[in-house]
Amino acid sequence: MRLILAVLTWFSLSFAAAAEVEIQDITTPAGLDAWLVEEHSIPFTALELRFRGGTSLDAPGKRGAVYLMTALLEEGAADMDAREFARAQETLAAAFSFDASDDSVSISARFLTENRDAALALLRAAIHEPRFDPDGVERVRAQIIASLQNDAKDPDSIARKVFSRLAFGDHPYGSDGEGTVESVAALTRADLVQAHRDVFARDRLYIGAVGDITPEELGALIDDLLGALPAEGREIPGPAEVLLTGGDTVVEFETPQSVAVFGQAGIERRDPDFFAAYVLNQVLGGGSFESRLMNEVREKRGLTYGVYSYLAPKDLAAVYLGSVASANDRIAEAVQVIRDEWTRAATQGVTEQEVEDAKTYLTGAYPLRFDGNGQIAQILAGMQMEGLPIDYVATRNDQVKAVTVEDVNRVAADLLDPDGLRFVIVGQPVGITESTN
Protein backbone atom coordinates (compact mmCIF):
# COMPACT_ATOMS: atom_id res chain seq x y z
CA MET A 1 0.00 0.00 0.00
CA ARG A 2 2.83 2.37 0.69
CA LEU A 3 4.51 1.26 -2.42
CA ILE A 4 3.78 3.87 -5.06
CA LEU A 5 4.54 1.53 -7.88
CA ALA A 6 6.23 -1.75 -8.45
CA VAL A 7 8.55 -2.15 -11.37
CA LEU A 8 8.43 -5.89 -11.67
CA THR A 9 10.73 -6.41 -14.58
CA TRP A 10 13.18 -4.21 -16.31
CA PHE A 11 13.79 -5.85 -19.57
CA SER A 12 16.40 -4.56 -21.91
CA LEU A 13 17.42 -5.67 -25.33
CA SER A 14 19.03 -4.38 -28.41
CA PHE A 15 18.62 -5.51 -31.97
CA ALA A 16 21.30 -5.72 -34.56
CA ALA A 17 19.26 -3.21 -36.46
CA ALA A 18 16.98 -1.40 -34.06
CA ALA A 19 17.10 0.97 -31.18
CA GLU A 20 17.53 -0.40 -27.77
CA VAL A 21 14.02 -1.02 -26.56
CA GLU A 22 13.80 -1.21 -22.79
CA ILE A 23 10.44 -2.53 -21.76
CA GLN A 24 9.42 -2.06 -18.16
CA ASP A 25 6.63 -4.14 -16.72
CA ILE A 26 4.91 -2.07 -14.09
CA THR A 27 2.06 -2.66 -11.71
CA THR A 28 0.22 0.40 -10.56
CA PRO A 29 -0.80 1.02 -6.94
CA ALA A 30 -4.35 0.04 -7.91
CA GLY A 31 -3.04 -3.23 -9.34
CA LEU A 32 -3.18 -2.60 -13.09
CA ASP A 33 -0.39 -3.92 -15.31
CA ALA A 34 1.27 -1.94 -18.07
CA TRP A 35 4.35 -2.12 -20.27
CA LEU A 36 6.36 1.02 -20.73
CA VAL A 37 9.23 2.18 -22.91
CA GLU A 38 10.64 5.49 -21.70
CA GLU A 39 11.66 7.81 -24.52
CA HIS A 40 12.36 11.29 -23.23
CA SER A 41 13.88 12.84 -26.35
CA ILE A 42 10.54 14.13 -27.68
CA PRO A 43 8.06 15.75 -25.25
CA PHE A 44 5.00 13.58 -25.81
CA THR A 45 3.63 10.17 -24.91
CA ALA A 46 1.74 7.55 -26.90
CA LEU A 47 -0.66 5.41 -24.87
CA GLU A 48 -2.37 2.31 -26.24
CA LEU A 49 -5.28 0.66 -24.43
CA ARG A 50 -6.86 -2.59 -25.60
CA PHE A 51 -10.03 -4.14 -24.21
CA ARG A 52 -10.39 -7.75 -25.26
CA GLY A 53 -13.73 -8.79 -26.70
CA GLY A 54 -14.47 -6.06 -29.20
CA THR A 55 -17.49 -6.34 -31.44
CA SER A 56 -17.79 -10.03 -30.57
CA LEU A 57 -19.38 -8.84 -27.30
CA ASP A 58 -22.51 -7.59 -29.06
CA ALA A 59 -25.58 -8.93 -27.31
CA PRO A 60 -27.91 -11.16 -29.39
CA GLY A 61 -29.91 -9.03 -31.81
CA LYS A 62 -27.75 -5.98 -31.09
CA ARG A 63 -25.18 -6.33 -33.86
CA GLY A 64 -23.24 -3.09 -34.23
CA ALA A 65 -23.83 -1.87 -30.66
CA VAL A 66 -20.18 -2.05 -29.61
CA TYR A 67 -19.06 -0.37 -32.84
CA LEU A 68 -21.55 2.50 -32.54
CA MET A 69 -20.79 2.91 -28.83
CA THR A 70 -17.07 3.14 -29.56
CA ALA A 71 -17.61 5.69 -32.32
CA LEU A 72 -19.63 7.85 -29.88
CA LEU A 73 -16.97 8.11 -27.18
CA GLU A 74 -15.62 11.33 -28.67
CA GLU A 75 -19.05 12.74 -29.42
CA GLY A 76 -19.64 14.35 -26.06
CA ALA A 77 -18.70 13.40 -22.52
CA ALA A 78 -19.37 14.66 -18.98
CA ASP A 79 -20.46 18.31 -19.22
CA MET A 80 -19.22 18.72 -22.82
CA ASP A 81 -21.25 18.19 -25.96
CA ALA A 82 -19.55 16.87 -29.11
CA ARG A 83 -18.31 20.25 -30.27
CA GLU A 84 -17.13 21.34 -26.81
CA PHE A 85 -15.25 18.07 -26.47
CA ALA A 86 -13.61 18.55 -29.87
CA ARG A 87 -12.65 22.14 -29.09
CA ALA A 88 -11.11 21.08 -25.78
CA GLN A 89 -9.12 18.39 -27.57
CA GLU A 90 -7.90 20.86 -30.20
CA THR A 91 -6.86 23.35 -27.54
CA LEU A 92 -4.63 20.69 -26.01
CA ALA A 93 -3.45 19.33 -29.39
CA ALA A 94 -4.07 15.84 -28.05
CA ALA A 95 -5.11 13.06 -30.43
CA PHE A 96 -7.42 10.22 -29.40
CA SER A 97 -8.63 7.48 -31.68
CA PHE A 98 -11.18 4.83 -30.80
CA ASP A 99 -11.67 1.65 -32.76
CA ALA A 100 -13.64 -1.57 -32.43
CA SER A 101 -12.62 -4.78 -34.19
CA ASP A 102 -13.58 -8.45 -33.86
CA ASP A 103 -11.32 -9.06 -30.88
CA SER A 104 -10.83 -5.74 -29.15
CA VAL A 105 -11.80 -2.16 -28.60
CA SER A 106 -8.67 -0.06 -28.84
CA ILE A 107 -7.96 3.45 -27.71
CA SER A 108 -4.85 5.15 -29.05
CA ALA A 109 -3.90 8.43 -27.41
CA ARG A 110 -1.12 10.88 -28.04
CA PHE A 111 -0.56 13.86 -25.77
CA LEU A 112 2.05 16.51 -25.06
CA THR A 113 4.02 16.53 -21.84
CA GLU A 114 3.18 20.20 -21.28
CA ASN A 115 -0.55 19.56 -20.83
CA ARG A 116 -0.64 15.87 -20.01
CA ASP A 117 -2.98 16.11 -17.02
CA ALA A 118 -5.58 18.12 -18.88
CA ALA A 119 -5.44 15.77 -21.88
CA LEU A 120 -5.89 12.75 -19.67
CA ALA A 121 -8.83 14.36 -17.88
CA LEU A 122 -10.48 14.69 -21.26
CA LEU A 123 -9.77 11.07 -22.19
CA ARG A 124 -11.05 9.99 -18.79
CA ALA A 125 -14.34 11.73 -19.48
CA ALA A 126 -14.63 10.00 -22.86
CA ILE A 127 -14.06 6.55 -21.36
CA HIS A 128 -16.16 6.93 -18.20
CA GLU A 129 -18.82 9.49 -19.00
CA PRO A 130 -19.81 9.37 -22.65
CA ARG A 131 -23.17 11.11 -23.04
CA PHE A 132 -24.73 9.22 -25.93
CA ASP A 133 -26.78 12.36 -26.59
CA PRO A 134 -29.69 11.69 -28.95
CA ASP A 135 -28.42 14.08 -31.63
CA GLY A 136 -24.93 12.56 -31.51
CA VAL A 137 -26.34 9.04 -31.69
CA GLU A 138 -28.42 9.92 -34.74
CA ARG A 139 -25.54 11.71 -36.47
CA VAL A 140 -23.08 8.85 -36.05
CA ARG A 141 -25.74 6.23 -36.74
CA ALA A 142 -26.43 7.90 -40.09
CA GLN A 143 -22.71 7.85 -40.92
CA ILE A 144 -22.41 4.14 -40.11
CA ILE A 145 -25.51 3.29 -42.14
CA ALA A 146 -24.11 5.23 -45.09
CA SER A 147 -20.85 3.31 -44.74
CA LEU A 148 -22.74 -0.01 -44.70
CA GLN A 149 -24.66 1.02 -47.81
CA ASN A 150 -21.35 1.81 -49.51
CA ASP A 151 -20.00 -1.60 -48.46
CA ALA A 152 -22.98 -3.26 -50.12
CA LYS A 153 -21.80 -1.92 -53.48
CA ASP A 154 -18.08 -2.41 -52.96
CA PRO A 155 -16.71 -5.70 -54.33
CA ASP A 156 -13.98 -5.99 -51.68
CA SER A 157 -16.43 -5.51 -48.84
CA ILE A 158 -18.91 -7.92 -50.39
CA ALA A 159 -16.21 -10.56 -50.77
CA ARG A 160 -15.03 -10.19 -47.19
CA LYS A 161 -18.54 -10.34 -45.76
CA VAL A 162 -19.57 -13.38 -47.78
CA PHE A 163 -16.33 -15.14 -46.89
CA SER A 164 -16.79 -14.43 -43.16
CA ARG A 165 -20.32 -15.81 -43.26
CA LEU A 166 -19.13 -19.01 -44.95
CA ALA A 167 -16.21 -19.36 -42.54
CA PHE A 168 -17.94 -18.65 -39.25
CA GLY A 169 -21.71 -18.89 -39.73
CA ASP A 170 -23.68 -17.57 -36.78
CA HIS A 171 -20.66 -16.89 -34.58
CA PRO A 172 -20.02 -13.12 -34.22
CA TYR A 173 -17.01 -13.59 -36.54
CA GLY A 174 -19.48 -14.57 -39.25
CA SER A 175 -20.98 -11.10 -39.57
CA ASP A 176 -19.78 -7.54 -39.82
CA GLY A 177 -19.03 -5.91 -36.47
CA GLU A 178 -20.44 -2.67 -37.79
CA GLY A 179 -23.81 -4.41 -37.92
CA THR A 180 -26.38 -4.31 -40.68
CA VAL A 181 -28.47 -1.36 -41.80
CA GLU A 182 -31.44 -2.90 -39.99
CA SER A 183 -29.62 -3.80 -36.76
CA VAL A 184 -27.92 -0.41 -36.48
CA ALA A 185 -31.20 1.39 -37.16
CA ALA A 186 -32.81 -0.49 -34.27
CA LEU A 187 -30.16 0.21 -31.60
CA THR A 188 -31.36 2.24 -28.62
CA ARG A 189 -29.51 4.39 -26.14
CA ALA A 190 -30.00 1.63 -23.57
CA ASP A 191 -28.18 -0.77 -25.92
CA LEU A 192 -25.24 1.63 -26.10
CA VAL A 193 -25.11 2.04 -22.33
CA GLN A 194 -25.13 -1.75 -21.99
CA ALA A 195 -22.39 -2.15 -24.64
CA HIS A 196 -20.30 0.40 -22.75
CA ARG A 197 -20.76 -1.56 -19.55
CA ASP A 198 -19.92 -4.81 -21.36
CA VAL A 199 -16.67 -3.64 -22.96
CA PHE A 200 -14.81 -1.47 -20.47
CA ALA A 201 -13.54 -3.54 -17.57
CA ARG A 202 -10.27 -4.27 -15.86
CA ASP A 203 -10.28 -8.02 -16.42
CA ARG A 204 -9.60 -7.59 -20.17
CA LEU A 205 -7.43 -4.51 -20.26
CA TYR A 206 -3.93 -4.33 -21.80
CA ILE A 207 -1.79 -1.19 -21.65
CA GLY A 208 1.27 -0.08 -23.59
CA ALA A 209 2.92 3.32 -23.21
CA VAL A 210 5.91 4.89 -24.93
CA GLY A 211 7.30 8.34 -24.50
CA ASP A 212 8.22 11.15 -22.19
CA ILE A 213 6.91 9.68 -18.96
CA THR A 214 8.39 7.90 -15.95
CA PRO A 215 7.04 4.67 -14.44
CA GLU A 216 5.77 6.59 -11.41
CA GLU A 217 3.99 9.14 -13.56
CA LEU A 218 2.50 6.44 -15.75
CA GLY A 219 1.30 4.47 -12.74
CA ALA A 220 -0.54 7.46 -11.33
CA LEU A 221 -1.92 8.33 -14.74
CA ILE A 222 -3.28 4.83 -15.34
CA ASP A 223 -4.91 4.60 -11.94
CA ASP A 224 -6.58 7.94 -12.43
CA LEU A 225 -7.67 7.06 -15.96
CA LEU A 226 -8.72 3.44 -15.51
CA GLY A 227 -8.65 2.51 -11.82
CA ALA A 228 -12.38 3.10 -11.39
CA LEU A 229 -13.42 0.70 -14.16
CA PRO A 230 -15.55 -2.25 -13.10
CA ALA A 231 -13.66 -5.45 -12.36
CA GLU A 232 -15.40 -7.58 -14.97
CA GLY A 233 -17.10 -7.13 -18.32
CA ARG A 234 -19.38 -9.27 -20.45
CA GLU A 235 -18.34 -12.85 -20.97
CA ILE A 236 -16.40 -13.31 -24.21
CA PRO A 237 -17.97 -15.86 -26.60
CA GLY A 238 -16.41 -19.29 -27.02
CA PRO A 239 -14.25 -20.41 -29.93
CA ALA A 240 -15.63 -20.23 -33.44
CA GLU A 241 -15.69 -23.35 -35.55
CA VAL A 242 -14.16 -22.84 -38.99
CA LEU A 243 -16.88 -24.07 -41.35
CA LEU A 244 -15.04 -23.58 -44.64
CA THR A 245 -15.25 -26.15 -47.39
CA GLY A 246 -13.22 -26.13 -50.57
CA GLY A 247 -14.63 -24.71 -53.79
CA ASP A 248 -15.72 -21.52 -55.47
CA THR A 249 -18.48 -19.13 -54.48
CA VAL A 250 -19.48 -16.55 -57.07
CA VAL A 251 -21.30 -13.32 -56.22
CA GLU A 252 -22.52 -11.64 -59.39
CA PHE A 253 -21.68 -7.95 -59.41
CA GLU A 254 -21.38 -5.69 -62.41
CA THR A 255 -17.80 -4.40 -62.38
CA PRO A 256 -14.79 -4.83 -64.70
CA GLN A 257 -12.44 -6.53 -62.25
CA SER A 258 -13.35 -9.55 -60.16
CA VAL A 259 -12.20 -9.51 -56.55
CA ALA A 260 -11.46 -12.77 -54.80
CA VAL A 261 -10.95 -13.55 -51.14
CA PHE A 262 -9.69 -17.04 -50.43
CA GLY A 263 -8.85 -19.08 -47.41
CA GLN A 264 -8.90 -22.22 -45.34
CA ALA A 265 -8.52 -23.24 -41.70
CA GLY A 266 -5.39 -21.74 -40.12
CA ILE A 267 -3.02 -22.24 -37.21
CA GLU A 268 -3.20 -20.86 -33.69
CA ARG A 269 -0.75 -18.24 -32.53
CA ARG A 270 0.24 -20.50 -29.60
CA ASP A 271 0.86 -23.52 -31.78
CA PRO A 272 4.52 -24.64 -31.53
CA ASP A 273 4.57 -24.73 -35.33
CA PHE A 274 3.37 -21.16 -35.72
CA PHE A 275 6.74 -19.79 -36.80
CA ALA A 276 7.23 -22.59 -39.32
CA ALA A 277 3.84 -21.70 -40.76
CA TYR A 278 4.78 -18.04 -40.72
CA VAL A 279 7.93 -18.73 -42.74
CA LEU A 280 5.93 -20.99 -45.06
CA ASN A 281 3.47 -18.18 -45.75
CA GLN A 282 6.28 -15.76 -46.41
CA VAL A 283 7.52 -18.10 -49.14
CA LEU A 284 4.06 -18.82 -50.51
CA GLY A 285 2.24 -15.50 -50.42
CA GLY A 286 3.69 -13.14 -47.82
CA GLY A 287 3.64 -9.50 -48.68
CA SER A 288 6.86 -9.22 -50.65
CA PHE A 289 7.69 -9.38 -54.34
CA GLU A 290 9.59 -12.59 -53.72
CA SER A 291 6.60 -14.77 -52.83
CA ARG A 292 5.61 -17.63 -55.11
CA LEU A 293 2.13 -16.19 -55.63
CA MET A 294 3.46 -12.76 -56.62
CA ASN A 295 5.99 -14.36 -58.89
CA GLU A 296 3.57 -16.73 -60.63
CA VAL A 297 0.44 -14.58 -60.79
CA ARG A 298 1.92 -11.10 -61.27
CA GLU A 299 5.52 -11.21 -62.45
CA LYS A 300 5.27 -14.14 -64.85
CA ARG A 301 1.71 -13.76 -66.12
CA GLY A 302 0.68 -10.15 -65.41
CA LEU A 303 -2.68 -11.38 -64.10
CA THR A 304 -2.98 -9.00 -61.18
CA TYR A 305 -1.54 -5.98 -59.44
CA GLY A 306 -1.35 -7.75 -56.11
CA VAL A 307 -1.84 -11.22 -54.64
CA TYR A 308 -1.20 -11.97 -50.99
CA SER A 309 -1.83 -14.55 -48.33
CA TYR A 310 -1.57 -14.20 -44.57
CA LEU A 311 -2.12 -16.13 -41.37
CA ALA A 312 -4.99 -14.73 -39.33
CA PRO A 313 -4.85 -16.23 -35.86
CA LYS A 314 -7.73 -14.47 -34.16
CA ASP A 315 -8.66 -14.90 -30.51
CA LEU A 316 -11.48 -17.34 -31.15
CA ALA A 317 -10.46 -19.06 -34.39
CA ALA A 318 -7.53 -19.31 -36.77
CA VAL A 319 -7.82 -18.96 -40.53
CA TYR A 320 -5.38 -18.67 -43.40
CA LEU A 321 -6.52 -15.97 -45.84
CA GLY A 322 -5.56 -14.35 -49.09
CA SER A 323 -6.81 -12.03 -51.81
CA VAL A 324 -6.39 -11.34 -55.50
CA ALA A 325 -8.12 -9.21 -58.13
CA SER A 326 -8.08 -9.71 -61.91
CA ALA A 327 -10.15 -8.63 -64.89
CA ASN A 328 -13.32 -10.69 -65.28
CA ASP A 329 -11.89 -12.67 -68.19
CA ARG A 330 -8.59 -13.42 -66.40
CA ILE A 331 -9.66 -14.20 -62.83
CA ALA A 332 -10.23 -17.89 -63.61
CA GLU A 333 -6.58 -18.28 -64.58
CA ALA A 334 -5.44 -16.41 -61.46
CA VAL A 335 -7.55 -18.67 -59.24
CA GLN A 336 -6.18 -21.76 -60.97
CA VAL A 337 -2.58 -20.62 -60.55
CA ILE A 338 -3.16 -19.98 -56.84
CA ARG A 339 -4.73 -23.43 -56.38
CA ASP A 340 -1.80 -25.00 -58.22
CA GLU A 341 0.70 -23.17 -56.02
CA TRP A 342 -1.20 -24.26 -52.91
CA THR A 343 -1.00 -27.86 -54.12
CA ARG A 344 2.65 -27.60 -55.16
CA ALA A 345 3.69 -26.25 -51.76
CA ALA A 346 1.59 -28.87 -49.94
CA THR A 347 2.91 -31.82 -51.94
CA GLN A 348 6.43 -30.81 -52.93
CA GLY A 349 7.29 -28.37 -50.18
CA VAL A 350 9.60 -25.43 -50.56
CA THR A 351 13.36 -25.22 -50.98
CA GLU A 352 16.01 -24.58 -48.39
CA GLN A 353 17.03 -21.42 -50.24
CA GLU A 354 13.46 -20.09 -50.12
CA VAL A 355 13.30 -20.74 -46.40
CA GLU A 356 16.62 -19.02 -45.78
CA ASP A 357 15.60 -15.99 -47.87
CA ALA A 358 12.29 -15.72 -46.06
CA LYS A 359 13.99 -15.91 -42.67
CA THR A 360 16.47 -13.21 -43.64
CA TYR A 361 13.67 -10.96 -44.75
CA LEU A 362 11.48 -11.59 -41.71
CA THR A 363 14.28 -11.11 -39.19
CA GLY A 364 15.48 -7.97 -40.96
CA ALA A 365 12.03 -6.46 -41.28
CA TYR A 366 11.03 -7.04 -37.66
CA PRO A 367 13.04 -4.20 -36.09
CA LEU A 368 11.79 -1.82 -38.78
CA ARG A 369 8.38 -2.06 -37.12
CA PHE A 370 9.69 -0.27 -34.04
CA ASP A 371 9.74 3.13 -35.65
CA GLY A 372 7.83 5.58 -33.57
CA ASN A 373 6.28 5.86 -30.15
CA GLY A 374 2.77 5.10 -31.35
CA GLN A 375 3.77 1.95 -33.23
CA ILE A 376 5.81 0.65 -30.29
CA ALA A 377 2.93 1.31 -27.86
CA GLN A 378 0.67 -0.74 -30.14
CA ILE A 379 3.21 -3.56 -30.27
CA LEU A 380 3.45 -3.58 -26.47
CA ALA A 381 -0.32 -3.80 -26.01
CA GLY A 382 -0.60 -6.42 -28.76
CA MET A 383 2.10 -8.61 -27.21
CA GLN A 384 0.30 -8.63 -23.89
CA MET A 385 -3.00 -9.48 -25.52
CA GLU A 386 -1.40 -12.41 -27.30
CA GLY A 387 0.09 -13.62 -24.02
CA LEU A 388 3.66 -13.21 -25.21
CA PRO A 389 6.44 -12.88 -22.65
CA ILE A 390 8.11 -9.51 -22.11
CA ASP A 391 11.36 -10.78 -23.61
CA TYR A 392 9.59 -11.76 -26.83
CA VAL A 393 11.06 -8.88 -28.82
CA ALA A 394 14.52 -10.28 -28.07
CA THR A 395 13.69 -13.93 -28.74
CA ARG A 396 11.35 -13.57 -31.68
CA ASN A 397 14.02 -13.43 -34.33
CA ASP A 398 15.76 -16.43 -32.80
CA GLN A 399 12.52 -18.35 -33.08
CA VAL A 400 12.30 -17.43 -36.75
CA LYS A 401 15.93 -18.41 -37.32
CA ALA A 402 15.38 -21.79 -35.64
CA VAL A 403 12.85 -22.82 -38.28
CA THR A 404 14.27 -25.42 -40.69
CA VAL A 405 13.17 -26.41 -44.17
CA GLU A 406 12.08 -29.74 -42.68
CA ASP A 407 9.81 -27.89 -40.23
CA VAL A 408 8.34 -25.80 -43.00
CA ASN A 409 7.66 -28.76 -45.26
CA ARG A 410 6.15 -30.82 -42.45
CA VAL A 411 3.81 -27.91 -41.68
CA ALA A 412 3.12 -27.31 -45.38
CA ALA A 413 1.94 -30.90 -45.80
CA ASP A 414 -0.12 -30.69 -42.65
CA LEU A 415 -1.57 -27.16 -42.88
CA LEU A 416 -2.07 -26.46 -46.58
CA ASP A 417 -5.32 -27.97 -47.72
CA PRO A 418 -5.84 -27.42 -51.47
CA ASP A 419 -9.13 -29.33 -51.32
CA GLY A 420 -10.32 -27.16 -48.44
CA LEU A 421 -9.46 -23.86 -50.06
CA ARG A 422 -12.55 -21.69 -50.60
CA PHE A 423 -12.60 -18.78 -53.06
CA VAL A 424 -15.30 -16.12 -52.87
CA ILE A 425 -15.28 -14.25 -56.18
CA VAL A 426 -17.23 -11.02 -56.62
CA GLY A 427 -17.68 -9.70 -60.13
CA GLN A 428 -18.57 -11.23 -63.48
CA PRO A 429 -15.93 -13.94 -63.63
CA VAL A 430 -15.67 -15.80 -66.90
CA GLY A 431 -15.23 -19.55 -66.63
CA ILE A 432 -15.90 -19.96 -62.92
CA THR A 433 -18.99 -21.66 -61.57
CA GLU A 434 -20.15 -22.33 -58.06
CA SER A 435 -18.59 -25.46 -56.68
CA THR A 436 -17.97 -27.34 -53.47
CA ASN A 437 -15.37 -30.07 -53.22
Q: Point out which residues bind another protein (CB under 8 A).
A: 15-19, 39, 41-44, 82-83, 86-87, 90-91, 93, 95, 110, 112, 139, 142-143, 145-146, 149-155, 254-257, 259, 287-290, 295, 298-306, 308, 325-327, 330, 357, 360-361, 363-365, 367-368, 370-374
**Residues forming beta bridges with residue 104, ordered by sequence position:** 52
Q: What is the C-alpha to C-alpha distance for residues 235 and 203, in angstroms, rounded to an integer?
A: 10
Q: Which is nearer to another protein, 56 or 258 (CB)?
A: 258
Q: How far is the CB of 151 from another protein (least distance, A)?
A: 8
Q: How far is the CB of 144 from another protein (least distance, A)?
A: 10
Q: Which is nearer to another protein, 33 or 38 (CB)?
A: 38
Q: What is the amino acid identity at position 20?
A: E
DSSP, residue by residue, 142-195 = HHHHHHHHHHTT-HHHHHHHHHHHHHHTTSGGGS-TT--HHHHHH--HHHHHHH
Burial class of residue 154 in the structure, from the number of CB atoms within 10 Å of its CB (0-12 exposed, 13-18 middle, 19+ buried) = middle
Q: Which is nearer to another protein, 143 or 437 (CB)?
A: 143
Query: Are 164 and 244 within 8 A, CB to CB?
Result: no
Q: What is the C-alpha to C-alpha distance for residues 307 and 206, in angstroms, rounded to an integer?
A: 34
Query: Are 280 and 311 within 8 A, CB to CB?
Result: no
Q: Which is nearer to another protein, 289 or 433 (CB)?
A: 289
Q: How far is the CB of 299 from another protein (least distance, A)?
A: 7
Q: Is 206 strand, coil or helix?
A: strand
Q: Which is nearer to another protein, 168 or 262 (CB)?
A: 262
Q: How far is the CB of 110 from another protein (least distance, A)?
A: 7
Q: Which is nearer to another protein, 119 or 229 (CB)?
A: 119
Q: How far is the CB of 6 from another protein (least distance, A)?
A: 28
User: Do β-strands 33-38 and 205-211 pair in parallel, antiparallel, or remain unpaired?
Assistant: parallel
Q: How far is the CB of 250 from another protein (least distance, A)?
A: 16
Largest CA distance in the chain: 73
Give 13-17 contacts, CB < 8 A, sequence gap 24+: 13/391, 13/393, 13/394, 15/366, 15/367, 15/370, 15/397, 16/367, 17/364, 17/367, 17/368
Q: How far is the CB of 294 from another protein (least distance, A)?
A: 9
**HSE-up (13 A, CA, CB side) for residue 227:** 12
Q: Which is nearer to another protein, 171 or 298 (CB)?
A: 298
